[in-house]
C-alpha cells in the first residue's frame, strides 16, 4: 500500500498495485495483497479491493473499489463513499464528486492519504485527495507503486485480449514480477 507518511513523522509504508479494466461490457478491479513496512513484508494477503454500495440482485454491492494508501484512511474513505452513494441513490459520479469535495475541504479528511479506483457498471473513476475525480481514457486505470507497470501491461494487452478480467490478472502478474512492493496474491472483483 503506498502509505508514505514520512511528512507526518510516522512509519513510512510503501507498495501496492490496483488496476481497473473496463472492456467488453465487463468491469474489473484487481489488487495485490502485499503490505510492506520499509523493506519488510508485513502481510502478504491484505484485501484492498471490495464491493460497496447498495446490493444488486445477487446481494453484492453495485460498486467495486480498490485503494492504495494508508489502510485506515482508505477504509474511512470507503465508508464516506458508501454514505454518499446512499445520499445520491447509487449515482457513482455524483457520490464521487461530493466525496472529493469533502476530501479536499474537510480539515480531518484532508489529511487522509490514499488513492482509490471505483467503478460501477457504467463508470470507472480515480479519486484523489487533491479533489480529483478522473475518468481514465481507454477504460484502464492503475494506482500504487506498481500501477505504472500494470497500466503499461494492460494497455499493451488490450489490443490482443477481449476479456477484461484476463487483462487485469495478467497486468497484475507483470506488476508483481517488476515491483518489489507488489505480490501475486490478487483479489479480483467483477461487474
- Which tens digits make up the pLDDT trace of 34-58? 887 778 888 888 888 999 876 666 6
Residue 182 and residue 173 in contact, taking contact as beta carbons nearer than 8 Å: no
How many other β-carbons are positioned within 10 Å of the β-carbon of residue 156? 14
Query: Is residue 11 classed as helix, strand or coil in its secondary structure?
Result: coil
Closest CA relative to residue 18, chosen from 62, 45, 48: 48
Residue 29 and residue 18 in contact, taking contact as beta carbons nearer than 8 Å: yes
Average pLDDT value for residue range 48-69: 80
Domain ranges of the chain: 6-183
pTM: 0.86
Query: Is residue 177 classed as helix, strand or coil in its secondary structure?
Result: helix
Active-site annotation, residues: 16
Domain spanning 6-183: CATH superfamily: Aminohydrolase, N-terminal nucleophile (Ntn) domain (3.60.20.10)
Report residue 39 as a C-alpha cell: 523493506
- More confident position, 73 or 137: 137
Please state, in angstroms and rounded to a whole number, the distance separating the CA atoms of residues 61 and 43: 26
Burial of 40 (0-12, 13-18, 19+ CB in 10 A): exposed
Report residue 10 as a C-alpha cell: 510516522
pLDDT at 110: 65
Give the pLDDT confidence of 104-150 residue by residue, as tens digits.
777 766 666 778 999 998 999 998 877 789 999 899 999 998 999 99
Amino acid at each position: 500500500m503506498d502509505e508514505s507518511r514520512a511528512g507526518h513523522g510516522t512509519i513510512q509504508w510503501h507498495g501496492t498495485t490496483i488496476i481497473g479494466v473496463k472492456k467488453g461490457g465487463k468491469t474489473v478491479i484487481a489488487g495485490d495483497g502485499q503490505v510492506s513496512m520499509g523493506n519488510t513484508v508485513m502481510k502478504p494477503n491484505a484485501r484492498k479491493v471490495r464491493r460497496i454500495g447498495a446490493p444488486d440482485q445477487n446481494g453484492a454491492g453495485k460498486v467495486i473499489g480498490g485503494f492504495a494508501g494508508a489502510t485506515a484512511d482508505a477504509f474511512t474513505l470507503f465508508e464516506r463513499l458508501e454514505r454518499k452513494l446512499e445520499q445520491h441513490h447509487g449515482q457513482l459520479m455524483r457520490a464521487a464528486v461530493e466525496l472529493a469535495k469533502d476530501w479536499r475541504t474537510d480539515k480531518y479528511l484532508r489529511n487522509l492519504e490514499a488513492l482509490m479506483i471505483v467503478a460501477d457498471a457504467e463508470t470507472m473513476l480515480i479519486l484523489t485527495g487533491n479533489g480529483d475525480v478522473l475518468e481514465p481514457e481507454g477504460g484502464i486505470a492503475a494506482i500504487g507503486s506498481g500501477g505504472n507497470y500494470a497500466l503499461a501491461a494492460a494497455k499493451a494487452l488490450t489490443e490482443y485480449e477481449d476479456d477484461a478480467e484476463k487483462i487485469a490478472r495478467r497486468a497484475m502478474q507483470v506488476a508483481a514480477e517488476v515491483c518489489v512492493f507488489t505480490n501475486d496474491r490478487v483479489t479480483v472483483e467483477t461487474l
